[in-house]
């Protein structure tokens, strides 16, 4: 199946999905791209952790934080759901870089809020603007019920996340070495039930997000021709959307292989 036919199949599949969805694809060799509602801001869930990671590496490069400095995890810091820190003993000491790694590979919520407080919400939002992420914003801490009641939601768009990964791939977030460090963290992702599902052995640098009626996966698939794929959803039927993620990623990876 050629890429035009695959694009038509992707469009048809997306139309069948309930709720709000956004999709972005870019072949990192040919530059071919497809955006379907890609500029629509959707509730970010854990995908907001990507710009937090970027700001962390910027502040390390600027000498404002030390990745090796130690942080003690107290009972008051712990948040439920994703991650590891919530389940470990109070008083555990980890480094700042450990927090960033756990935030990405296990989507650790405790680590995320600690980093937001350390880096500053305004700094993270300013960084997103500087990177050209025009439709993305961090407006509250995770699990801030009061802020959520006031209508505050963290948001991202598929095109913004595509731009983020394109800059990362080109070594343009902080610089080549920090970009490679971030990609290495993303390649160690432990939550692999979506884009990687049918592609055993194909490396990916990606980040997922989940909440009620929400499922995301965004990142780089290192197929024979590497490509960026960004899948976002809101108010959707999660099992159907995740199957679409799996099938679409498989189609795009096979299209890459067939060009060789």
Mean pLDDT of 115-128: 98
- Residues 127-150 pLDDT 10s: 999 999 999 999 999 999 999 999
In this prediction, what percent of the chain has a pLDDT beyond 90?
95
Q: Give the separation between CA 36 and CA 157, rounded to whole angstroms.
A: 11
Q: How many CB atoms lie within 10 A of CB 33?
A: 15
Average pLDDT over residues 3-32: 96
Q: Report percent pLDDT > 70 for the chain.
A: 98
Q: What is the pTM of this model?
A: 0.96
At residue 19, the pLDDT reads 98
Chain segment 64-101, per-residue pLDDT in tens: 999 999 999 999 999 988 899 999 999 999 999 999 99
- Arithmetic mean of pLDDT, 184-195: 98
Strand partners, 22: 232
The span from the CA of 120 to the CA of 221, in Å, is 31
Query: Could you tell me the domains of the chain?
Result: 3-258 (3.40.710.10)
Express each pLDDT in 147-179 by its tens digit: 999 999 999 999 999 999 999 999 999 999 999
pLDDT at 226: 98
pLDDT band at 259 (very low <50, low <70, confident <90, very high): low
Burial class (CB in 10 A: 0-12, 13-18, 19+), 197: middle
The arithmetic mean of pLDDT across residues 102-125, rounded, is 98
Name the β-bridge partners of 137. 155
Tokens 């400095």 locate to: 69
Give the tens place of pLDDT for each residue, 31-48. Answer: 999 999 999 999 999 999
Q: What is the pLDDT of residue 63?
A: 97
For residue 257, pLDDT over 80 is answered with: no
Residue 258 has pLDDT above 70, yes or no: no
Residue 3 pLDDT grade (very low, low, confident, very high; cuts 50, 70, 90)? confident
Q: Residue 1: is its pLDDT beyond 80? A: no
pLDDT at 260 over 60: no
What's the gap between Cα 126 and its chain centre? Answer: 18
Question: Long-range pairs for 203-211 at CB < 8 Å and ≥24 separation?
Answer: 205/165, 205/168, 207/46, 207/47, 207/49, 207/50, 207/104, 207/107, 208/46, 208/47, 208/107, 209/44, 209/45, 209/46, 209/47, 209/48, 209/107, 210/45, 210/46, 210/238, 211/43, 211/45
């Amino acid at each position: 199946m050629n890429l035009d036919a695959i694009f038509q199949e992707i469009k048809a599949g997306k139309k069948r999905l309930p709720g709000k969805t956004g999709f972005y694809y870019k072949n990192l060799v040919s530059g071919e791209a497809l955006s379907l509602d890609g500029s629509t801001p959707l509730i970010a869930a854990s995908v907001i952790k990507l710009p937090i990671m970027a700001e962390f590496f910027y502040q390390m490069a600027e000498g404002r934080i030390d990745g090796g400095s130690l942080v003690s995890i107290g009972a008051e810091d712990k948040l439920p759901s994703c991650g590891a820190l919530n389940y470990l003993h109070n008083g555990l000491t980890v480094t700042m870089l450990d927090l960033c790694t756990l935030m990405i590979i296990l989507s650790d919520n405790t680590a995320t809020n600690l980093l937001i407080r350390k880096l500053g919400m305004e700094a993270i939002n300013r960084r997103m603007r500087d990177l050209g992420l025009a439709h993305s914003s961090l407006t509250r801490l995770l699990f801030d019920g009061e802020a959520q009641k006031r209508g505050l939601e963290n948001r991202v768009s598929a095109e913004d996340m595509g731009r983020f990964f394109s800059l990362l791939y080109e070594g343009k977030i902080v610089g080549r070495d920090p970009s490679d460090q971030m990609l290495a963290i993303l390649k160690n992702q432990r939550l692999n039930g979506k884009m990687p599902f049918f592609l055993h052995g194909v490396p990916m640098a990606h980040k997922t997000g989940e909440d009620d009626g929400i499922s995301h996966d965004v990142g780089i698939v290192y197929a024979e021709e590497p490509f960026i794929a960004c899948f976002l959803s809101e108010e959707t039927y999660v099992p159907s959307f995740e199957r679409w993620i799996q099938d679409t990623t498989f189609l795009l990876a096979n299209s890459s292989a067939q060009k060789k």
